[in-house]
Amino acid sequence: MTGNNKRRVLVVDDAAFTRNMLKKIINKTEYAEVIAEATNGKQAVEMYQDLEPDLVTMDLVMPEQGGIETTEQLLKIDTGALIVVVSALGQEALVLEAAKKGAKDFIQKPFKPDQVIEVLERILIKNK
């Protein structure tokens, strides 16, 4: 075990571009690192159970299983799961539904690095 105290993040998005952007931003912080990436909700649930990350960034619209259903499943597995929705403009109804299901916050696509960092800090440092 290393002396690494970084919070562990699972990035869930079907778009490789978005996953890479989030990974770059998160891995530049001093307090968080991306430990895995999932391309759909089913994969995310399996990875969550195996890896037990501290935070999940969740796309809402994905093939096989979307973000709302996945958010519900993760919170059944772990009532303390920290889930941040990453969603495009125009998906407000989905974002609201995800919040009702237990998502802690959201990041709007297209995002800027400081938006992502602000949300991460608010959730990870507040919930330490």
**Mean predicted confidence (pLDDT) in 58-69:** 95
- pLDDT of 2 strictly over 50: no
What is the pLDDT, as a whole number, of residue 115? 96
Domains of the chain, start order = 7-119 (3.40.50.2300)
> What's the CA gap between 128 and 22, in Å, rounded?
21
> What's the CA gap between 86 and 19, in Å, rounded?
10
Q: Is residue 65 exposed (0-12), middle (13-18) or buried (19+ Cβ within 10 Å)? A: middle
Q: For the whole model, what pTM was predicted?
A: 0.94
> What's the CA gap between 117 and 90, in Å, rounded?
22
What is the pLDDT, as a whole number, of residue 5? 87
**Mean predicted confidence (pLDDT) in 22-43:** 97
Q: Which residue has the tokens 């959201």?
A: 106
**Mean predicted confidence (pLDDT) in 83-99:** 91
